[in-house]
Amino acid sequence: MNPIDHNNYLLENFETERLLFRKVTWDDFDAWTKLFVSDDVAIFLGLDPKLSVKELTQKWFDKTLDRYDKNLGSMNALIDKKSKRLIGQSGLLVQTIEDEQRLEVSYSILPEFWRQGFAYEAANACKNYAFEKEWSENLVSVIEPANIGSERVAVKNGMTLEKTIVELHNAPFNVFSIQREHWLKTISDD
């Protein structure tokens, strides 16, 4: 299974206990500016923290919509079922890591909703969906080393640190991964 064998990794119209997944649209732009409350968030996402909040949001949306156009997977908007509000984004992304295409479980939650389990709920859904569809034999989450919250989500999602790379954005990033074979064992143990 090669990540580029598929042309749509979106979980559009998918849902979990608390979340609805849908495509990101330009209507989400203003709500998404709240993600960039600190320079750390831009750094964690490999963006230039010197940019304005509007510029950071524009870069994020350009990248997200470009992924849709190129069938490289992308982020799904995460909608809280109770409030109907945008609370974050999560998805499956085709990434090139050390010249190899890998499928990444990615997640970003608006600060107002941090520490409520939404990142894990979304990441776990993406992992399970990708493995159930047999889209890849392994999945990764690529995380800036100072982003301890995202590393905790990756570990809770069954991933372990595979390696540290300096390839992306000329900065170090930790690559966490999980093998489908390991995932199959964990679901058969339940």
The residue extents of the domains of the chain are 3-189
Tens of pLDDT, residue by residue over 118-162, are 999 999 999 999 999 999 999 999 999 989 999 999 999 999 999
The mean pLDDT value for 103-127 works out to 95
What count of residues does the chain have? 190
On the 0-12 / 13-18 / 19+ scale of CB atoms within 10 A, 61 is middle
The predicted-structure confidence for 38-56, as pLDDT tens digits, reads as follows 778 888 888 888 999 999 9
pLDDT digits (tens, 9 = 90+) for 27-41: 999 999 999 987 788
pLDDT of 80 > 80? The answer is yes
Q: What per-residue confidence (pLDDT) applies to 11?
A: 86
- The pLDDT score that the predictor gives to residue 168 is 56
Which pLDDT score is estimated for 3?
47
Distance CA 110, CA 105 (A): 17
Taking the model in full, what pTM does it have?
Answer: 0.90
Q: In percent, how much of the chain has pLDDT > 90?
A: 65
On the CB side of 65, CA atoms within 13 Å amount to 12
- How high is the pLDDT of residue 1? 46
- Bridge partners (DSSP) of residue 15 are 20
* Distance (Å, whole) CA 13 – CA 64: 18
What SS3 string covers the chain?
A: CCHHHCCCCCCCCCECCCEEEEECCHHHHHHHHHHCCCHHHHHHCCCCCCCCHHHHHHHHHHHHHHHHHHCCEEEEEEEECCCCCEEEEEEEEEEEECCEEEEEEEEEECHHHCCCCHHHHHHHHHHHHHHHCCCCCEEEEEECCCCHHHHHHHHHCCCEEEEEECCHHHCCEEEEEEEHHHHHHHHHHC
Q: How confident is the model at residue 171 (pLDDT cuts 50, 70, 90)?
A: confident
pLDDT of residue 7: 54
Q: Structure tokens of 81?
A: 């079922």
Query: What is the pLDDT at residue 169?
Result: 61
Give the Cα separation of 4 and 103 in Å (integer).
9
Mean pLDDT of 75-89: 96
What CATH homologous superfamily does 3-189 map to? Gcn5-related N-acetyltransferase (GNAT) (3.40.630.30)
Task: Please say if the pLDDT value at position 5 is more than 80.
Answer: no
